[in-house]
Amino acid sequence: MQDSNYRRVAIISAIQGETSVANSLIEARRELSLANRIVANEGVIDAFGHVSMRHPDNPRRYLLSRSRAPELVTPEDFIEYDLDSQPVREPTVTQYSERVIHGEIYKARRQSPPPLTLWASPVGRSRC
């Protein structure tokens, strides 16, 4: 159990950019899609959880996938939101209703590197 917790912390730290920070939107979308699949595979979140990331070039925006299981997320699934959790472009796909929580976290935490936010519905808590 303890080894599993260390692994999760290491994965989250790596995704947060402590080893590298996404320097372009294309790279950020790729890394964030991988982050969704990794945390799902490692059991950090389940089929209802999701991961978001502050936009790499605009700190007043963040990226969150459309509403779908994290193990299925691809780079094309991300919707760009402003800090009021309004989509920059009106999406044609279903959005997470919990996106407002992500927006409020990004409003409150304006530091760099961009924070990573996880949301696991059954657990009912977020991690930053």
Write out the catalytic residue numbers.
98
Rounded Cα–Cα distance for residues 22 and 48 (Å):
25
Residues 6+ apart with CB under 8 A from 50: 36, 64, 65, 70, 96, 98, 118, 119
Rounded Cα–Cα distance for residues 27 and 94 (Å):
23
Strand ranges (E), 15-115: 50-54, 61-65, 78-82
| CB 77, CB 53: distance < 8 Å | no
Which residues pair with residue 80 across a beta bridge?
63
